[in-house]
Structure 1
Amino acid sequence: MRVNTLKRAAVAFALALPGAAIASVVAAPAAHADGCYTWTRNLYQGSSGADVRQLQIRVAGWAGYRDIVENDGRYGPKTAAAVKRFQQAYGLRADGIAGPQTYGKLYQLQDNDCTPAHFSHGELDDGCGGSGYDGGPLSEAQTRQNALRTMWKLEALRKSLGDKPLDVSGGFRSRACNNRVGGAADSQHLYGNAADVTSRTKSLCQVARDARDNGFSGIYGPGYPDHDDHVHVDSRRENNADRSSNTTSWSAPDCGVGN
C-alpha cells in the first residue's frame, strides 16, 4: 500500500508542475486503484483524447438538469461544467479544470475494476441471475462499458441524495431475460443503459426528480404503469441504436415529472 501511495504522490506532484514539465511525465507509473486508470496531465477546455473520455465516464452523472455529457473525448463546455459540479459536490476547488485534487477524489471513489465505490457489475449484470453481459443486441464489451457509465451516474445520484444507500433491483437484461420478465422489445435494459432503483431513506419521487440532474434521459417512476415500487433510469440518448433521435422521456405523474 505504501508503494502505491508514493506512486500516487509522484503523479500528483507531476501534475502540479508547469506545462513543460508535465510533458516529461506522460509515462508516470500507476497509482492505487489505477489498475483501472491513471491520469497523467491536467485537463481543461480544449483538451482531447482517451484520458478525456475516461474523465467523461466518471463525471457523466454531473451533467446538470436534463442534459448529458457526451463521451466523445473532447473537453468542451459540458464536460467543464460537469467537472465543476463534481468538484462542488465534493468540496474541491470548483474551477472546471481536472487536476490532482479532482483525480485524487476519483481515485478514492473508484475500485480497481473502474466501478464506483457504491456500485458493482454484480448489481448491473443480467437481471435474471447475474450471468454477465452476454445475450443483448450489443457486444459484451460495449454493454459492459454502458453499464459502467450507468454506475457512475448512479454514484452521482446517490451523492445528490445525501450519500445514502441507493439499491439496484434491476440492470442489464439479455434478450432471453427481457422476454421472461415481459420487458419492452426495445428496453434500455438490453443495452446496459438502464437500472431500476429504490432508496432506503428518500421517497421514490425524490429519486425521480433528482435523477433529472444526473445525466439520465429516461426516467419512469410512481404513477407510470408498473413503476410504483421503483424508479427506472436510463441513458437512451447515448444508446447507439437511439442516438439519432436525441430522445428524452420522463414520466412519474405522481411526482410531477412529465415529458
Structure 2
Amino acid sequence: MFRRAATLFAALALAVGGLAGAAVTAPATASADSCYTWDRTLQRGASGSDVAQLQIRVAGWVGYGETLAIDGQYGPATEAAVQRFQSGYGLAADGVAGPQTYDRIYALQDADCTPIHFSHSEFNDNCGANNYYGGKVSAGTARENIRRVMWQLEALRHKLGDRPLVVTSGFRSESCNAAVGGSSTSLHMYGRAADLGLASGPTQCQMWSSARSAGFEEILGPGYPNHNDHVHVGNKSTRFWRAPNC
C-alpha cells in the first residue's frame, strides 16, 4: 500500500511541475521497502554502501565464469550485472539502477533482506542447531555470506525457468561438518556454500551448467566423488568446477 501511494505521489509531483512550468526533480526511487530502500539513482562511477547492497542482489547476474566483487564501487562489472538483471526481468537494460530496477528488487526480497524463494531456515540447520555458530567465521559473517549465496541462487532459479531449488545443506559448524563427512576446508563452515538436492526442479547437470554464470567459483556435481545426489555451489577466490558426468 505504501509503495503504491509513494508512486502516485511521485506521478502527481511531476504533473504539477509540468503544469507550472517549473523544474521538478523526481525522487530517485518511487517506493520504500521494509528491508532496504535506495534513495538515489546509481550508475557507473557511484560508490557507497548502497552500491554494495545493490551488488549483493545482482551478484548472480554475471557472465560465464565471472564473479562480482562486493566493494561498493559501481564499475563496468556492476553495470553489466545490472544490465543482465534488468534484461532478465524484462526491464530496459541500460545498466543504471533507478526506480524500475529497485521496484523489481523490492518485489524479490523479504523483510529480512533474503530473496523471496529462500530463507535462513533452509541454510542454518547446522545438524539441527538452527543457528550460524561454531564455524570458521562469526555467526554474523556466516549469515551475511549466506545472504549473498541466496541472491545468487535466486538469479540461478530465475535463469532455470523459476523452477524450485531445494537446499539440502547450507551452513555447517566445524563439528557438524565433521559429523557429515565434509572436507576439512569446506566452504560450508564459512557460510559460502549450498548443496542443491535431487528434489530440485532442474536436473543436476542443468544446475551445474547454469551455476557457471551465477558467480560461483566452486561447482561440483555428478561424477565428482560424493556428489551424485546433489550439486554443490560455493564462493571462493579460485575456480574449481567438476562434474564429469555432465
Q: TM-score, normalised by structure 2?
A: 0.90
Give the unaligned 5+ runs of structure 1: 238-246
Aligned match of 1:202: 202
Amino acid at match of 1:227: H
- Measured after TM superposition, the shift of residue 140 of structure 1 is 1.1
Match of 1:253, SS? coil
Q: For 1:8 and 1:194, locate their aligned partners in 2 and report how far apart those are by CA, in whole Å.
A: 38
Larger radius of gyration: 2
- State whether residues 126 and 177 of structure 1, in contact with CA within 8 Å, keep that contact through their aligned partners in structure 2: no
Tell me the percent identity.
Answer: 53
Worse-matched range after superposition: 110-119 or 194-203: 194-203
RMSD between aligned alpha carbons?
A: 2.4
Q: For 1:119 and 1:11, locate their aligned partners in 2 and report how far apart those are by CA, in whole Å.
A: 32
Aligned match of 2:143: 144
Aligned match of 1:254: 245
- Measured after TM superposition, the shift of residue 182 of structure 1 is 1.3
Give the unaligned 5+ runs of structure 2: 18-22
Query: Against the structure 1 CA distance between its residues 35 and 8, is the aligned structure 2 distance closer, same or farther, given a 3 Å change threshold?
Result: farther
Q: For 1:253 and 1:141, locate their aligned partners in 2 and report how far apart those are by CA, in whole Å.
A: 36
Q: For 1:152 and 1:13, locate their aligned partners in 2 and report how far apart those are by CA, in whole Å.
A: 34
Mapping of 1:113-128 within 5 angstroms?
113-128=112-127
- Measured after TM superposition, the shift of residue 21 of structure 1 is 4.0
C-alpha distance after superposition, 1:101-152 (max 9, x if no partner): 0000000000000000100000111331152111111111111100000000
Query: Against the structure 1 CA distance between its residues 7 and 152, is the aligned structure 2 distance closer, same or farther, given a 3 Å change threshold?
Result: same
- State whether residues 221 and 232 of structure 2, in contact with CA within 8 Å, keep that contact through their aligned partners in structure 1: yes
C-alpha distance after superposition, 1:34-69 (max 9, x if no partner): 221000001010000000000000000011111111
Match of 1:148, SS? helix
- State whether residues 204 and 230 of structure 1, in contact with CA within 8 Å, keep that contact through their aligned partners in structure 2: yes
- State whether residues 223 and 245 of structure 2, in contact with CA within 8 Å, keep that contact through their aligned partners in structure 1: yes
Kindly tell me the number of residue pairs found equivalent between the two proteins: 238
Amino acid at match of 2:242: S
Match of 2:126, SS? coil
- State whether residues 3 and 30 of structure 2, in contact with CA within 8 Å, keep that contact through their aligned partners in structure 1: no
Q: TM-score, normalised by structure 1?
A: 0.85
Query: Against the structure 1 CA distance between its residues 225 and 35, is the aligned structure 2 distance closer, same or farther, given a 3 Å change threshold?
Result: same
Amino acid at match of 1:248: R
- State whether residues 30 and 99 of structure 2, in contact with CA within 8 Å, keep that contact through their aligned partners in structure 1: no
Match of 1:232, SS? strand
Q: For 1:9 and 1:215, locate their aligned partners in 2 and report how far apart those are by CA, in whole Å.
A: 37
Q: For 1:48 and 1:58, locate their aligned partners in 2 and report how far apart those are by CA, in whole Å.
A: 16
Aligned match of 2:175: 176
Aligned match of 2:95: 96
Matched, 1:47 2:46: yes
- State whether residues 218 and 233 of structure 1, in contact with CA within 8 Å, keep that contact through their aligned partners in structure 2: yes
